[in-house]
Amino acid sequence: MPKPKVAFYWCASCGGCEEAVVDLAEDILGVVEAVDIVFWPCAMDFKKAGLEEMPDKSITAALVNGAIRTSEQEEMARLLRRKSQYLIAYGACAQQGGIPGLANQFSREQLLRYVYEEAPTVLNTAGHRPAPQFQVDGHAVTLPEFRHRVRSLDQVVEVDYYVPGCPPTPKITKAALGALLEGKLPPKGSVLAPDIALCQQCPLVDSKPQDLSLAEYKRPHWAPIDPEKCLLSQGFPCLGPATRGGCEAVCIRGHMPCTGCFGPTSRVKDQGAKILSSLASTLAAKEDEAIVKGLNTIPDPVGTFYRYSLAASTLRGKVA
Amino acid sequence: MNRVIEELPEAASPAPGSTPTNQRRRQVTIDPITRLEGHGKIDILLNEDGDVERAFLQVPELRGFEVFSLGRPAEDMPQITSRICGVCPTAHHMAATKALDDLYQIQPPPAARKIRELVYNAFMLEDHALHVYLLGGPDFIVGPEAPKEQRNVVGVVQKVGVEVGKRVIAMRRRLRELIAYFGGKVIHPVFGLPGGVSKGLRPEDLPPFKELAKDGLDFALFTLQVFKDIVLRNADYVNLITSDTYTHRTYYMGLVDAQNRVNFYDGLLRVVDPAGKEYARFPAQQYADFVAEHVEPWSYVKFCFLKPVGWHGFEEAPRSGVYAVAPLARLNAADGMATPRAQHAYEEYFATLGGRPVHHTLANHWARVIEMIGAAERMVELVNDPEITSPELRVIPRSKPAVGIAAVEAPRGTLFHHYETDDAGLIRKANLIVATQNNSARLAMSVEKAARGLVRKGQIDDGLLNKVEMAFRAYDPCFGCATHSLPGRHALRVNIYSHRRELLHQLAQD
């Protein structure tokens, strides 16, 4: 009985999702026994040509992490979709665009101009920019195009399942791989993580008041943090109430608030809007002026509400 | 599920890796290169005789962190910039945290500094171990021209035994659990605050960390022995390491302490010239006087060079300002290591290779192991320092922020973070010089030189192409992706055309 074929690939990614798989540690040996990994550029000496030659749908599951930023990443996403029965968006960037999605607040021109011309250490008198095609002595070398916007994986190809997190935890990863190999999968489009708010997994939940009523929010570097008491109740913007659980509150165990990397529960369409709503409703203020003053204690609304999800949100980005 | 959103291409650009028909002339493309940072390709351009005309190591991606940091609260930067790299997130997290110290003109209390150093050295040890055993190591432990199916950790385990394989996995797991203890999670930790850390070490939790540090040192010393047994006792490997094909005479940069000894966490930047003479010694805040970035149209990565020397092309010193960072460079730029066993290994290394500085790129693999010993010894020092369990973890910033600049030594090289903010501490400008970037010019030169040295008369095979790839792998560029027991399957098709576009030769392997 041939082993199921599995592929891993990364798009506009930091590589943390690759590390997350390896953080299965001793458990990885069991995974490798059970599957045939046929494509993994970071780890294996494969070439794209080999992938192109595989029959369509011959790969059981491709776990693709990273957001889509370049033409090459689009092409690889489409190729892996064709070759795979299940295409899984692994990690926050594939699911929602991730932190690189924050680039959608800026135009492509702003990004390229700063990186290649305006940055304080750049000396580029020739005015070079990376070019899709570069001619040298009659030869041509090529580079992928840098697209105008960051996109999530499902904005480019059809995605079967999502494994959330920045990065996904070993526990979530192991459960997802297990479900795949045993064929015990929920309905298509599901997120392979518990469908509960993070507060339910937080060690400080018992100190979370029923009704929270804050005058303002605090920035963590300006105030002492009591690690034994609900961080939101202390005035730190902890996004636990508006974030899917599954990570078992690791950041809170590090004595810092949740920043929302596991994405929304199934009941929420736009995670940023949900976070905004959650934090706004926690403010005590009732009149407009006081409300504005209270909300202004969150100095970076986009970075706070949409840190991992801007690309996939209703907003998607800044237009002008 | 979101609806699919099409993005129309700018212009009819050729598919990645292909060349336009009317210009397809003797071009070999390795796409993608493997066992390193995920995205890169090598284009080898041949002349009419089948010898190498040019070779380009191209980096085909960009995300733009410096720009989308604008408007963000500076205190968010440790967690935002860690997403530059999920293998070395701790390096960015630490550089950002130190930049925040500088921004608010405060220093962490002693216990917090020691915790930062403990976490940082644990990280250096586990990340270097990853590269030695799983990424670059296979090329040496198994052999540069070994069958591709063996050129990975499976081959390593066959060579050194399954017990060693399990020991590597367990050691990395324990070291990463230490990082997660302080940082909440090991991939993208959360502990960094200006003036301190978020979480301390409880006295009752110290004993296992003492044991871990001791085991870590044993492991590092064991790794050096493995390297000596398998690599240094093999005359062919030694010839490879010292061959001219993999040698460049450049400047070298690294962080040093007050006695000019290697330090990963803090110190001054020291640059030496190819003769080993000190060229510069400066605090991170002055980095822009010494480091500049050059741009080429054929890669998204920028190429660092020494500003006072100037950019004079992809050339060696003395006229060219190209320099290197990371283990080879750090050992060259320093006068020694700060701990005894590492110092002994350092002296042995230079004695064997003919003195300081060493210009052989492949010696990076050896220098990396010596750094593992240094990191482990420093961990032992810190866990045995009674102050490390003190609950004094933070100083709350009071001053108005403006500019914060800091440097750390990431496993893959010097990392600079530079932030400028408004009065409220929101980022107004950010500049990052990221480890491998410092090496990118020398990396490109290494690949071209290796291609020139190895590809003759259009003769190409798998082992040869791997030896070209080894020229970059020694630098452990940016991303050390953890691998595990995987057979290396290598589907490759290489077409070689004459200058009249006749297909001369076709190599295919599945």
End-to-end CA distance of chain B: 36
pTM: 0.92
The structural domains of chain A, with segments of one domain joined by +, span 5-99+148-182, 107-147, 198-305
Using the predicted structure, report yes or no on whether residue B3 has a pLDDT greater than 70: no
Chain B residue with CA closest to A310: the answer is B68
Give burial (CB, 10 Å; 0-12/13-18/19+) of B318.
middle
Contact A142, A131 (CB under 8 A): no
pLDDT in tens, A124-154: 999 999 999 998 878 888 999 999 999 999 9
Using the predicted structure, report yes or no on whether residue B135 has a pLDDT greater than 90: no
Q: What average pLDDT score do residues B151-161 get?
A: 77
Q: What is the pLDDT of residue B490?
A: 39
Q: What is the CATH number of domain A5-99+148-182?
A: 3.40.50.700
Using the predicted structure, report yes or no on whether residue B497 has a pLDDT greater than 50: yes
Q: What average pLDDT score do residues B141-154 get?
A: 78
Domains and CATH numbers, chain B: 70-394+431-440 (1.10.645.10)
Give B389's DSSP letter: G
Q: What is the pLDDT of residue B492?
A: 57
Using the predicted structure, report yes or no on whether residue B138 has a pLDDT greater than 70: yes
Mean pLDDT of chain B: 88
Using the predicted structure, report yes or no on whether residue A109 has a pLDDT greater than 90: yes
pLDDT in tens, B261-300: 999 999 999 999 999 999 999 999 999 999 999 999 999 9
Q: What is the DSSP string of B222-252?
A: HHHHHHIIIIIT-HHHHHHHHSGGGB---EE
Q: B335: distance to nearest CA of chain A, Å? A: 29
Which of A14, A35, A309 to probe by mutation at the B interface, max B CB count within 10 Å?
Answer: A14
Q: Range with the lowest mean pLDDT among A55-69, A208-222, B389-403, B452-466?
A: B452-466
Count of CB pairs separated by less than 8 Å, A with B: 367
Residues of A in contact with B198 (CB under 8 A): 220, 225, 227, 254-256
Q: What is the pLDDT of residue B483?
A: 24
Q: What is the pLDDT of residue B491?
A: 46
Q: What average pLDDT score do residues B188-200 get?
A: 98
Q: What is the pLDDT of residue B22?
A: 34
Using alpha carbons only, give the angle B384, B389, B394 rounded to the nearest 5 degrees.
130
Residue with tokens 């995987």: B486
Tokens of B361: 């790129």
Bridge partners (DSSP) of residue A243 are: none
Q: What is the pLDDT of residue B150?
A: 75
Q: Range with the lowest mean pLDDT among B18-32, B326-340, B486-500?
A: B486-500
pLDDT in tens, A179-195: 998 989 999 999 999 99
Q: What is the pLDDT of residue B308?
A: 97
Chain B contacts in chain A segment 134-173 (CB below 8 A): 134-149, 151-152, 154-159, 166-167, 169
Using the predicted structure, report yes or no on whether residue B509 has a pLDDT greater than 60: no
**Helices and strands of chain B, counted as H and E runs:** 15, 16
Contact A74, A146 (CB under 8 A): no
pLDDT > 70 fraction of chain B, expressed in percent and rounded: 88
Q: What is the pLDDT of residue A308?
A: 98
Q: Strands A139-142 and A133-136, how do they pair?
A: antiparallel
Q: Range with the lowest mean pLDDT among A19-33, A274-288, B370-384?
A: A19-33
Peptide bond into B357 cis (omega under 30): yes
pLDDT > 70 fraction of chain A, expressed in percent and rounded: 100
Give burial (CB, 10 Å; 0-12/13-18/19+) of A186.
exposed
Q: What is the pLDDT of residue B498?
A: 63
Mean pLDDT of chain A: 93
Question: Does the beta-carbon distance from B32 to A49 stay under 8 Å?
Answer: no
Contact A133, A140 (CB under 8 A): yes
Nearest to B490 among A45, A105, A250 (CB): A45
Using the predicted structure, report yes or no on whether residue B119 has a pLDDT greater than 90: yes
Chain A residue with CA closest to B24: the answer is A139
Residues of B in contact with A102 (CB under 8 A): 68, 80
Q: Residue B166: which H helix or E strand, with range?
A: helix B162-183
Angle between helices B206-227 and B110-130 (to 10 degrees): 40
- State whether ipTM is beyond 0.85: yes
Using the predicted structure, report yes or no on whether residue A302 has a pLDDT greater than 80: yes
Q: What is the pLDDT of residue B431?
A: 96
Q: What average pLDDT score do residues B177-181 get?
A: 98
Contact B419, B404 (CB under 8 A): yes
Q: What is the pLDDT of residue B41?
A: 85
